[in-house]
Chain A
């Protein structure tokens, strides 16, 4: 990296246990946050804000949820989109039925609803894992979307079956421009990411990982497998629900249940696999990658053929690229982009020496 660690001494454990033990890292984070909050909203174009940055943050939250469950607690899930749908429609109903409810409160409550559903569908994890569990989560995926689709109440009997996002109003101030919505999403994302980091590297995360790596030993230490797994399901679904609500209100804007189909679940899975299982930051890398690949493919084809290529071809090509990347990552670096970046940092730390 561009700065060295030498000469940094930690004199007590509290210093060693900080989120970012290096002073340089803390400065860097400060700069990034400052840019994200104070520079980007005023400089980025509306296209960048509403077509790239907002969905990236929303999907990063969802990927974070998927990663908590899969990367930390080791429970394979193919149902992220179902919980996103639950969050999105719960949020719409809160906003629709309770006039005065501030948007962040509605989002938080939607997360709780998704968490409750997550606990129910997490129950099979007490008996099975791996592909068996994946099939159980597929059930949640199909069932949740079906329920929202078929029961008119969830859409307040709108004949089109599509809901339209309400304006985001927080204590009288409305957030409707891309920059304003971006700030709302960014704030929620930063807070939830901070919370996830605290859990992941604290006792909660160690319990999840213990269950993932060796459940018998975890049980012998006095850990309740039941509680730990359901907790992971609940928290993961909470993040998916919040991400889904934000995704619907700030990106999709008009939402039908079919938007949260199995393909979206797979995309979330890929974000985690490519970004890095069991790393918080990897969720952001993965979401960014999955989101940007089609954009880059389009630019690439434009440059190559001078015109846009049929969307079906790019989407098929995307599938092939995702598939190949997942196979390669599974073979060479199961911890994904996050690990690649870490390896690079470690190499730079020693540079120009080999060892």
Chain B
């Protein structure tokens, strides 16, 4: 095949796989938004907090699975603490107030993680090689690593599970009821606190998975927070309420920023991927504010 076309596909694939990572972060966000109509700005911080803690536990000598288990437990605790100390006192408050509170939460989590575990960059070895799989490279000329494939697969499984939980189970029904109105849900006997703890714990676990995949690729470091911030444009493009939406949007963002970087970047000295997703999101806001799959925002008088 023509090497230029091959190169294009390689960049595209690399972008799509990076996009999967964005989608994973965004997924935790959608989960919380759907279940409590809270914009959880702390989702990126949770990714950092979770994976740094995981690496930290491993450094303390815990074996892989035990460390994983302990971190999952920790994220459940974070969820409970968030419910008790942030959400419960703010029930029925304006959504902007809740958003500000989650910005506060983000800083608490980031600060705590660094206080406890330090600020050095750590390596995370999941035992999945991040080098191109040779037989794919030989057959097609495209370089894909096993880590990329695992990331894609994990994202797909998580999306499927969450989609089923949301649409097919009683818990999912409760979540959707809570999203429609806190007071109304409480009045029909839905235990608001339990629902929230459940959702935040789940989002924490999603964050852990995203953080592990990401950390294995880029190292466990504070820069993860900045990467996770790109989940925000993904959310806008996908629509805040749509699980498939954020997956597609994540792929779009990942692919477009890498293509822009590789093909347009050199003319400007690079760094385009730092803002391209946000600009794409602005375009969406101007012309299609509800995103690709989101619910239309209707104004009532």
A touches B (Cβ under 8 A): yes
Q: Which A residues fall within an 8 A CB radius of B?
A: 74, 76, 121, 123-124, 127-128, 130-136, 138-139, 142-143, 146, 149-151, 216, 262, 266, 269, 273, 312-313, 316-327, 330-331, 334
Does any Cβ of A come within 8 Å of B95's Cβ?
yes
Give me the interface of B with A, judged by CB distance under 8 Å: 39, 41, 85-86, 89-90, 93, 95-101, 103-112, 114-115, 118-119, 226, 229, 232-233, 235-236, 268-272, 274-275, 278-279, 281-282, 285-286, 289, 299, 301
In angstroms, Cα B111 to Cα A177, docked, is 37
Which of B104, B115, B271, B279 is A324 in contact with, Cβ under 8 Å? B104
Other than the given A319-B114, A324-B108, 12 more pairs (CB < 8 A) read A127-B286, A128-B289, A130-B96, A132-B236, A135-B235, A135-B278, A138-B278, A143-B278, A150-B268, A318-B111, A320-B112, A330-B93
Which of B101, B110, B226 makes the CB contact (< 8 A) with A331?
B101
Whether the Cβ atoms of B275 and A139 lie closer than 8 Å is yes
Known: A130-B96, A319-B108. Contact between A326 and B115, CB under 8 A?
no
Residues of A within 8 A of B107 (CB): 266, 319-320, 322-323, 326
B285 interface neighbour in A136, A143, A330, Cβ under 8 Å: A136
Main secondary structure of the interface of A (DSSP, over half): helix
- Rounded to whole angstroms, the CA-CA distance of A166 and B289 in the bound complex is 44
Residue of B nearest to A123 (CB): B286
User: Which one of A151, A269, A326 has the greatest number of beta carbons of chain B within 10 Å?
Assistant: A326
The reply to whether B101 and A139 contact each other, CB–CB distance below 8 Å, is no
- What CA separation (Å) do A334 and B96 show in the bound complex? 11
Q: Once the chains bind, are B271 and A327 in contact (CB under 8 Å)? A: no
Whether the Cβ atoms of B282 and A316 lie closer than 8 Å is: no
CA distance A330 to B107 in the complex (A): 14
Q: Which residues of A contact B301 (CB under 8 A)?
A: 216
Bound Cα distance from A38 to B106, whole angstroms: 43
Given the known A-B contacts A130-B95, A136-B285, A138-B278, are A330 and B115 also in contact in the complex, defined by CB atoms under 8 Å?
no
Distance in Å: Cβ of A313 to nearest Cβ of chain B? 7
From B95, B109, B285, contact of A128 by CB (8 A)? B285
User: B111: which of A135, A151, A317 is its contact (CB, 8 Å)?
Assistant: A317
Contact yes or no, A130 B39, CB < 8 A: yes
Does the CB pair A331–B281 fall under 8 Å?
Answer: no
Residues of A within 8 A of B282 (CB): 121, 124, 135-136, 139
Instruction: Give me 23 A-to-B residue pairs in the complex whose CB atoms sit less than 8 angstroms apart, sorted by A's number.
Output: A132-B289, A135-B235, A135-B282, A135-B285, A138-B278, A146-B274, A146-B275, A150-B268, A151-B268, A262-B226, A273-B100, A316-B114, A317-B115, A319-B108, A319-B110, A319-B114, A320-B107, A321-B111, A326-B103, A326-B107, A327-B101, A327-B104, A331-B90
User: Closest CB-CB distance, B296 to chain A, in whole Å?
Assistant: 12
Bound-state CA distance A127–B279 (Å) is: 16
Which of B93, B97, B226, B285 is in CB contact (< 8 Å) with A124? B285
Residues in A neighbouring B275, C-beta threshold 8 A: 139, 142-143, 146
Inter-chain CA distance A253–B100, complex, in Å, is: 33
Q: In the complex, which residues of chain B have a beta carbon less than 8 angstroms from the beta carbon of A317?
A: 111, 115
A327 touches B105 (CB 8 A): yes
Q: Beyond A130-B39, A323-B105, is A136–B281 a contact (Cβ under 8 Å)?
A: yes
B119 touches A322 (CB 8 A): no
Query: How far does the alpha carbon of A334 sit from the alpha carbon of B41 in the complex, in Å?
Result: 18
CB distance from B102 to the nearest CB of A (A): 9
What is the minimal beta-carbon distance from A122 to any residue of chain B, in angstroms?
A: 11
Contact A135-B115, Cβ < 8 Å, known A150-B271, A331-B89: no
B168 to chain A, nearest CB (A): 29
Give bound CA distance, A76 to B269, whole Å.
31
For the complex, give the distance between the alpha carbons of A142 and B118 in Å: 27
Q: Who on chain A is nearest to B232 by CB?
A: A135
When the two chains form their complex, are residues B104 and A139 in contact, meaning their CB atoms are under 8 A apart? no
Contact between B104 and A323 (Cβ–Cβ < 8 Å)?
Answer: yes
What CA separation (Å) do A142 and B276 show in the bound complex?
A: 9
Q: What 9 pairs across the A-B complex have the smallest Cβ distances?
A: A319-B111, A326-B104, A323-B107, A139-B278, A323-B108, A320-B111, A142-B275, A316-B114, A327-B104
The reply to whether A130 and B278 form a contact with Cβ atoms under 8 Å apart is no
Q: Which of B98, B109, B111 has the most CB of A within 10 A?
A: B111
Q: Which of A124, A150, A324, A334 contacts B286 (CB 8 A)?
A: A124
Q: How far is the CA of A37 from the CA of B104 in the complex (A)?
A: 37
Q: Is the CB of A146 within 8 A of B281?
A: no
Q: Please judge, given known A-B contacts A131-B39, A262-B226, whether A326 and B232 are in contact too, CB under 8 Å.
A: no
Contact between chains at A142 and B105 (CB < 8 Å)? no
Say yes or no: B100 contacts A326, CB within 8 Å: yes
Chain A residue with Cβ nearest B118: A312
Partner of A316, one of B39, B41, B97, B119: B119
